[in-house]
């Protein structure tokens, strides 16, 4: 089954996709879009193109586990994505994933514009890999 992860941002949204065996997450792309309706359409097109059967949306909880404004926006977007795609959509705790993506980019010496263009897809990949590992070990 193909699983798509979404790292929602105000301007840039990172996407990552699992392989068919659900073992490996890979960065897919970054969508630069301010308009959430247009973003929904673009993600739904990707869902169809890759025959995605599950969507994981990063849920940026506060470090103490509470939900702030960003987490609420992501939950609302996940619900809209489910309604538009008719695909099961779940929220997944994404605390520290962007920080992990920065560490990864540092280790690969990715800098400047290339880093800015890829950091969100890398974060989406980390979210998805974390979910895949959890799924493999508990389901």
What does the alpha-carbon distance between residue 29 and residue 117 come to, in Å, rounded to a whole number? 9
Higher pLDDT, 6 or 71: 6
Specify the pLDDT at position 105.
46
The most confident of the ranges 5-14, 53-62, 102-111 is 5-14
Specify the pLDDT at position 101.
47
Task: Say which range, 17-21, 28-32, 58-62, 72-76, has the weakest mean pLDDT.
Answer: 58-62
Specify the pLDDT at position 119.
72
- β-strand pairing of 52-59 with 2-7: parallel
Specify the pLDDT at position 123.
86
Number of domains in the chain: 1
Print the domain residue range for 123: 2-138
- Domain CATH code at residue 43: 3.30.420.140
**115 Rama class: left (phi>0) / alpha (psi -120 to 50) / beta:** alpha
Of 86, 129, 122, the C-alpha closest to 104 is: 122
| Cα four-point dihedral sign 77, 78, 81, 83 | negative
Specify the pLDDT at position 122.
85
Average pLDDT of the chain is 85
At 29, phi and psi to the nearest 5? Answer: -170, 175
Whether the per-residue pLDDT at 6 is higher than 90: the answer is yes
């Amino acid at each position: 089954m193909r699983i798509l992860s979404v790292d929602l941002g105000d301007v840039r949204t990172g996407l990552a996709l699992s392989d068919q065996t659900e073992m490996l997450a890979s960065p897919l792309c970054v969508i630069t879009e301010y308009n959430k309706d247009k973003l929904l359409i673009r993600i739904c097109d990707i869902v169809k193109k890759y025959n995605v059967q599950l969507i994981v949306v990063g849920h940026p909880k506060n470090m103490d586990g509470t939900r702030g404004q960003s987490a609420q926006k992501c939950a609302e977007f996940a619900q809209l994505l489910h309604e538009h795609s008719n695909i099961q959509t779940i929220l997944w705790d994404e605390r520290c994933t962007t920080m992990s993506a920065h560490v990864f980019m540092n280790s690969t010496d990715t800098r400047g514009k290339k880093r800015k263009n890829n950091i969100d897809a890398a974060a989406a990949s980390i979210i998805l890999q974390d979910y895949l590992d959890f799924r493999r070990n508990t389901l």
